[in-house]
């Protein structure tokens, strides 16, 4: 089972970017969540929100 939160290493790996850039992404996403009234954890981001915002679901693989 995947954890609810993703750390910087997981974000960096998922995006194929450096950890420094992953930290910036996490900060941006956490700011969005805070503005919506959610509680955030520094250095981690909600996995579902991350996937939703970056649209990692490949719709082209859907069978028609």
What is the pLDDT tens value at each position of the chain, 64 positions in all?
579 999 999 999 999 999 999 999 999 999 999 999 999 999 999 999 999 998 855 555 444 4
Residue 21, in any domain of the structure: yes
- Inside any domain, residue 18: yes
Tokens at 51, concatenated: 């996937």
The verdict on residue 47 lying in a domain is yes
Q: Looking at the domain assignment, is residue 62 inside a domain?
A: no
Structural domain range at position 37:
5-54
Burial category of 48 from C-beta neighbours within 10 Å (exposed 0-12, middle 13-18, buried 19 and up): exposed
Q: Is the residue at 27 inside a domain?
A: yes
* Domain count along the chain: 1
Report the distance separating Cα 25 and Cα 41, nearest Å: 13
pLDDT at 60: 53
Give the pLDDT confidence score for residue 64 in this predicted structure.
Answer: 41
Answering whether pTM is above 0.95, one says: no
Structure confidence at residue 63 (pLDDT): 47
Q: List helix spans (H) across 1-64.
A: 8-15, 19-35, 47-54
In this prediction, residue 28 carries a pLDDT of: 97
- Using CA atoms, how far apart are residues 57 and 36, in angstroms rounded to an integer? 24
**Could you tell me if residue 22 is inside a domain?**
yes
Please count the other Cβ atoms lying within 10 Å of the Cβ belonging to residue 11.
24
In a domain, 13, yes or no: yes
Residue 59: inside a domain: no
């Amino acid at each position: 089972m995947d954890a609810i939160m993703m750390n910087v290493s997981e974000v960096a790996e998922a995006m194929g970017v450096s950890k420094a850039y992953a930290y910036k992404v996490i900060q941006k996403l956490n700011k969005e969540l805070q503005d919506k009234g959610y509680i955030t954890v520094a250095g981690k981001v909600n996995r579902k929100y991350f996937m939703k915002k970056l649209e990692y679901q490949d719709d082209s693989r859907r069978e028609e």
